[in-house]
Chain A
Amino acid sequence: MQVKVYPLPFLNDDALDEMGNLEVPTGATLRDVYKKLQVPLLLRPVLLCSVNYEKSSLDRVLQEGDVISFFFPITGG
């Protein structure tokens, strides 16, 4: 199944396609996505990440079409 990921600049997005979609097996968790993105273990406690704009634990089981976004400072406008 496909989920959509907005990665952070220091992560690895090789597994994402151009639209940011990531292919994961059914029953995959947020932790599995972290592994694919190669999120450094030390940083995991301090990163703010949401699934469908809700705070989620790493054990959350993902559904088709879920959106995973990391919080990052922006200074547009």
Chain B
Amino acid sequence: MGMAKGEVIIDYQICMGCGICINACPFSCLDLTRYGNDAYKRLFPELEPDHGCTGCGICSKACPLECMTAIKKDKDEKKDAVSS
């Protein structure tokens, strides 16, 4: 937890669960595990536990709806995460 070098923020108001980001990630950091608040029991993408996200942004570039933001955590933040 908190050891990953990056993370991805997804706007679930826009996301439609197409899975393009899941396939795009070279490290399979994302999976369809998040239920939304729609009527149809659709699953949405989220980072897996123990993910190794580096914030590389391949997923956010691949998303046709441009609803993802990839973030690289800076070195200081990582140090804090480790120490706390």
Whether A and B touch (Cβ < 8 Å) is answered with no
B residues apposed to A, CB below 8 Å: none
